[in-house]
Copies of this chain bind each other. A is one copy, B any other.
Amino acid sequence: METTIRKEKSVSLSQRAYEELRTKILNNDLRPGRFFLEKELATLLGVSRTPLKEALVKLENEGLIKVQPRHGMQVIPLSADDMAEIYQIITSLECEAVSTIARRGLSNREISQLEETGISMAEALEQDDLQSWARADEDFHRLLLDFCGNTRLKQTVLNYWDISHRARMFTLNLRDKPVNSTKDHQQVIEAIKAKNAEKAVSIHRQHRVNGGAVLVNIIKQYRLDHL
């Protein structure tokens, strides 16, 4: 508790503004496309404009928002085309990570960690808990990025996850039950165990291409052009 307080005190206002704003964006608390003026946001976050501006520069650089001078900032709405672009990048880089891992191999401990996420996903499905399922699914993908060992690749993918997060969470309940995901993950793990990079990449790519297509189609189907 005390360390939390102390840690909280050491975070600058600009860092706090950044984190709060980013959380609101990812939680769909700020309607995409709507403009928010600097003074509105400063009041909302309880800071002056200087730390707020710093936060806005970071978020714009990360592709989550766009600042239009004199009109304010807006959460960038995501179209189906945007999602297709983003998934193309995520797929490419994750496959690169999978390829690296499969060629190098993983320790038994690392394999266990991956398998545990599959168990969690299956349990979450049994309990009809899509939020837990999504977290376990993300754990799987994140572990792949961790094991790859390329910190910049991981950071780049995480950034694109952020950008697509709202759309992924928004459409979670609109998709069919993700029973295939667990199978795909298991097959990727098997291929990694066998050090079959080509197969691991092929399965993972198909997994991501399918997932991306589902998402893009939902956006088109529901005409959600302001996600």
Contacts and interface: CB of A to CB of B under 8 A. Distances in A.
Interface of A: 50, 53-54, 57-58, 61-63, 85-86, 88-89, 91-93, 95-96, 100, 150-153, 156, 160
Nearest to A18: B57
Contacts of A160: 152
10 contacts: A50-B50, A54-B54, A54-B57, A58-B61, A85-B151, A88-B153, A89-B96, A89-B152, A91-B96, A92-B95
Contacts of A100: 88
Interface centre among A50, A57, A91 (most CB of B within 10 A): A57
Residue in A54, A62, A93, A95 with the greatest tally of chain B CB atoms within 10 Å? A93
Given A54-B53, A61-B61, A152-B63, A96 B85 contact: no
Nearest to A86: B152
A99 to B, nearest CB: 9
Contacts of A93: 89, 92-93
A174 B29 CA distance: 53
